[in-house]
């Protein structure tokens, strides 16, 4: 059965394809089919008309909550907005593509309830949601229940989603922020992340703490390989022929997913314990601006870097320091040589290979662990950092350093063009390569949705 998000993507893009076909026939711009709007009110209005007449919806739409349809339409509207803003340069970050159809097996199943009966029961172990009724939850809701009963919190919405083999419910709550005091507000700490040791912290008082890397994925790798071999021996689904998976394949796949879910839960628990301890103890936290997306391109270290969760550590530290403790978080410049700089005299080494785990200064003779030296240098940046905007989630910035090899501009993100005659008999350039080379040259063109 087609879902509202699928319907919305097809309904909006149908006008794009129609206009594209009319342009090939030489239809004038004023006579082309009008663009279909993708705002949420417009999608709601059109879907309410289609669900009563379209045979794909008429038989079952009344059996479900209206919030299930509204969630899909809202997600589709947000996807079109992100695509249009990214196309026109108004959206920062990675360029967004046009919304497309997604398989139900790969999509995260979720529904957001904004109206109806949404409350926590007095027992502290049950929640009531629209159309679903009263449901028992695994974790107690006493903390949120006490806030709601005391009038210090108000529930705005509830989102039900299926994640890691379990159904979860998350409440969006409006409440007064309770700023928690840190244990050492005048102490700054620098955090150096790594693979051999997950984190090495060095504060301004000279204390050094090492957090070992639990390596959850590496520990479960043998079990995961055994489960994957069992899945490969079963008859799985085939989208090309439309073959459905067998019961044995579904059971084997569930056992494999259970291993993945356990690894993800263990990793999340370890990272939360680390970030909560750091955010609640120090008044200033200095972290590295790591290029995690570029680091995982190293095929030898990709699995270990992903297992460590460098990006998740920074995300958790950002909101925990800003929103829970109102402390400073400083992001060191990406080109700051924290490992190559001597924490004793400030001398910078020209080269320091990754396999060299001990730092030996040629000027002052300091011999220290590589990660400890980097953490001490990061902690020293707290005294020279520039205050940020103060917005929740924003970070203070450390003094910028000169980039090596004179790279004062953004490096090229696309691969260099292959020269004519390289790796091809005759040296002829194919038509699609000519089009690509022409597209590499900057051209001032108006915004086109397709």
Q: What's the pLDDT tens digit per position in 16-25?
A: 999 989 988 8
Nearest to 296 by CA among 309, 287, 315, 286: 309
Query: Does 445 map to a domain?
Result: no
pLDDT at 424: 41
Same domain (yes/no): 119, 43: no
User: Do 362 and 342 form a contact (C-beta atoms < 8 A)?
Assistant: no
Query: Do 57 and 121 reside in the same domain of the chain?
Result: no
Q: What is the mean pLDDT of residues 397-404?
A: 58
Would residue 409 count as lying in a domain? no
Q: Is 431 helix (H, G, I), strand (E, B) or coil?
A: helix
The whole-chain average pLDDT of the chain stands at 84
User: Do 155 and 192 share a domain, yes or no?
Assistant: no
Query: Residues 401-415: what's their mean pLDDT?
Result: 50
- DSSP category for residue 84: H
Considering the domain architecture, whether residues 267 and 288 belong to the same structural domain is answered as yes
B/e letters for 200-223, b = 16+ CB within 10 Å, e = fewer, are bbbbbeeeeebbebbebbeebeee
**291: three-class secondary structure by DSSP:** coil
Report which of 370, 366, 367, 368 is spatially closest to residue 357, judged by C-alpha positions: 370
Residues 58, 149, single domain; the answer is no
User: What is the domain count for the chain?
Assistant: 3
Angle of helix 4-24 versus helix 66-88 axis, rounded to 10: 40
> Is the torsion defined by CA of 343, 344, 349, 353 positive or negative?
negative
In this structure, are 120 and 258 located in the same domain? Answer: no
CB contact set of 61 (below 8 Å; sequence gap of 6+): 51, 69
Final residue in a domain of this structure, among 152, 175, 198:
175
Do the domain assignments include residue 422?
no
Is the per-residue pLDDT at 450 higher than 60?
no
Domain that holds residue 142: 110-175
**Domain identity same for 58 and 193:** no
Percentage of the chain modeled with pLDDT above 90: 49
The whole-model pTM stands at 0.75
pLDDT confidence band for 159 (50 / 70 / 90):
very high
Spatial CA neighbour of 190 closest among 88, 291, 330: 330
pLDDT band at 401 (very low <50, low <70, confident <90, very high): low
From CA 378, how far away is CA 398, in angstroms rounded?
10
List residues bridging with 289 in a β-sheet.
Answer: none
Decide which of 88, 118, 143 is a domain's last residue.
88
Question: In the structure encoding, which two tokens stand for residue 368, read together?
Answer: 């220290």
Q: Are residues 261 and 226 in the same domain?
A: yes
pLDDT at 428 over 50: no
Name 23's bridge partners.
none
Q: What's the pLDDT tens digit per position in 313-353?
A: 999 999 999 888 888 999 998 888 999 999 988 899 888 88
Same domain, 40 and 145: no
Domain for residue 117, yes or no? yes
Q: Give the C-alpha separation, 225 to 217, whole Å.
A: 11
Query: pLDDT tens digit string along 171-223?
Result: 999 988 778 888 888 999 999 999 999 999 999 898 999 999 999 999 999 99
Residue from 67, 307, 371, 396 carrying the catalytic annotation: 371
- Is 304 part of a structural domain of the chain? yes
The residue annotated as part of the active site, out of 203, 288, 307, 396, is 288
- At 13 the three-state DSSP class reads helix
Tell me whether residue 432 is in a domain.
no
- Going by the DSSP 8-state scheme, the letter that residue 234 receives in this structure is S
- Give, rounded to a whole angstrom, the gap between the first and last alpha carbons of the chain: 27
Could you give the count of Cα atoms lying within 13 Å of 333 in the half-sphere of its Cβ? Answer: 14
Q: Which residues contact 178 (CB under 8 A, 6 or more apart)?
A: none
Q: Which helix (H) or strand (E) holds 172?
A: strand 166-175
Examine the residue annotation and report whether 371 is marked as an active-site residue of this protein.
yes
Catalytic-role residue among 67, 192, 203, 307: 192
d(CA 306, CA 302): 6
Q: 101 in a domain, yes or no? A: no
Tell me whether residue 171 is exposed, middle or buried, using C-beta atoms within 10 angstroms of its C-beta: 0 to 12, 13 to 18, 19 or more: middle
- Where are the strands (E) in 17-165, listed by range? 110-113, 119-120, 126-129, 133-136, 153-163
Strand ranges (DSSP E) for 399-439?
Answer: none
Helix and strand numbers, DSSP H then E, in the chain: 13, 14
Claim to verify: residue 31 and residue 77 sit in the same structural domain:
yes
pLDDT of residue 335: 87
Residues 161 and 67 in one domain: no
User: Can 394 be counted among the known catalytic residues?
Assistant: no
| 263 shares its domain with 144 | no
């Amino acid at each position: 059965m087609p879902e509202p998000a699928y319907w919305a993507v097809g309904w909006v893009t149908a006008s794009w394809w129609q206009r594209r076909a009319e342009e090939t026939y030489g239809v004038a711009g004023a006579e082309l089919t009008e663009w279909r709007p993708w705002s949420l009110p417009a999608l709601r209005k059109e879907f309410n008309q289609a669900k009563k007449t379209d045979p794909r919806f008429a038989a079952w739409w009344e059996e479900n909550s209206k919030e299930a349809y509204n969630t899909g339409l809202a997600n589709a509207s947000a996807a079109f907005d992100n695509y249009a803003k990214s196309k026109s340069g108004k959206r920062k970050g990675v360029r967004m593509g046009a919304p497309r159809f997604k398989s139900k097996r790969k999509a995260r199943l979720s529904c957001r309830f904004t109206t109806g009966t949404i409350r926590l029961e007095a027992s502290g172990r049950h929640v009531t949601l629209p159309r679903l009724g009263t449901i028992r939850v695994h974790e107690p809701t006493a903390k949120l229940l006490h806030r709601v009963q005391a009038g210090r919190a108000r529930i705005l919405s509830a989102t039900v989603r299926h994640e890691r083999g379990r159904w979860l419910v998350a409440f969006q709550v409006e409440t007064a922020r309770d700023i928690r005091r840190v244990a050492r507000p005048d102490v700054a700490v620098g955090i150096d992340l790594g693979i051999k040791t997950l984190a090495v912290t060095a504060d301004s008082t000279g204390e050094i703490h090492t957090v070992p890397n639990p390596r959850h994925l590496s520990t479960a790798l043998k079990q995961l390989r055994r489960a994957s071999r069992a899945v490969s021996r079963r008859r799985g689904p085939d989208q090309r022929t439309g073959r459905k998976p067998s019961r044995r394949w579904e059971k084997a796949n569930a056992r494999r997913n259970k291993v993945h879910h356990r690894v993800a839960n263990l990793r999340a628990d370890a990272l939360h314990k680390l970030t909560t301890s750091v955010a609640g103890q120090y008044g200033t936290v200095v972290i590295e601006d790591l290029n995690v997306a570029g680091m995982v391109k190293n095929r030898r270290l990709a699995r270990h870097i992903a297992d460590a969760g460098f990006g998740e550590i920074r995300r958790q530290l950002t909101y925990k320091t800003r929103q829970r403790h109102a402390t400073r978080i400083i992001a060191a410049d990406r080109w700051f040589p924290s490992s190559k700089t001597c924490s004793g005299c400030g001398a910078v080494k020209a080269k320091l290979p990754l396999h060299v785990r001990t730092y030996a200064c040629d000027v002052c003779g300091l011999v220290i662990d590589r990660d400890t030296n980097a953490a001490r240098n990061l902690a020293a940046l707290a005294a020279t950092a520039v205050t940020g905007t103060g917005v929740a989630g924003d970070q203070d910035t450390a003094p910028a350093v000169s980039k090596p090899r004179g790279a004062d501009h953004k490096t090229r993100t696309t691969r260099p063009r292959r020269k004519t005659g390289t790796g091809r008999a005759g040296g002829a350039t194919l038509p699609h390569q000519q089009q690509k080379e022409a597209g590499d040259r900057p051209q001032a063109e108006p915004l086109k949705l397709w």
